[in-house]
Amino acid sequence: MTATEVRQWVSQNLLTTDDLIARVGDANWIAIRQTPFAPAPNTGSYPSANREMGRPNEYLQQYIPGTQPVAQPDSTILLHRWLALMIDGLIAFPLVFMAVLPVISLLGTPLLVAYYISRDALLGNGQSVGKKALGLKVEKDDGTPLTWIDSVKRNVVFFAYLVLIFCTIPYLGWFIAGILSIPLGILFLVETIMVISTGKRIGDRWGGTSVKRIN
């Protein structure tokens, strides 16, 4: 619902000021009377639109207790995330080598996928080896500890490496893998754009996770 619709429903008694609302994606539900959507006592007027819409960070802090300002992706964290991924990639290099060899890829590919989907739970604290080296960790948005299942969810895109198993097919294997690599390349490009623009990739949205810097 838009702010205008909320006000209309309150004015028409379709909602009461004791009903709870929350912004999309926000887990903090509060009574309408605690927000600018409720009419001021005895006046029927509303707080200015500028305060509500023009300065969202101030609005969140003033009307939703405990909520932090909406942060833009930190370019330094983004750089460190890519460096951490490179370190994890170096560690996985022997598995990558196994995954592209005929026959051996039947073992190497599943091991490579297992490593990448589990890497953020390997050290037991939301860190892969690369993230630990760069001072980063994966945290759940709801504050609960990161589990192996959460690591699998946020790294689900790496299941795409199963394509390499086609390399076991004589003659046609590399051709098939090459054709399938085109949509996979597009997928990884989309992931890159999402990380740069929002700080969250597909897996983060599905798993409800974020990458944070360790103080």
Average pLDDT value for the chain = 77
Can you tell me the mean pLDDT for 171-177?
Answer: 73
pLDDT tens track for 118-127? 999 988 888 9
CA dist 172 and 91 (Å) reads: 29
Q: Would you say residue 70 has pLDDT above 70?
A: no
pTM score of the predicted model: 0.58
For residue 209, the SS3 value is: strand
Can you tell me the mean pLDDT for 151-173?
Answer: 80
Which of 73-77, 147-151, 200-204 bottoms out in mean pLDDT, i.e. has the lowest? 73-77
Alpha-carbon distances, residue 12 vs 8, 9, 67 (angstroms): 6, 5, 29
Closest CA to 61 of 17, 33, 28: 28
Query: Which residue blocks in the chain are alpha helix, DSSP H?
Result: 3-11, 49, 56-63, 75-91, 93-99, 105-118, 129-134, 148-154, 173-198, 202-207
Which is more confident, 29 or 153?
153
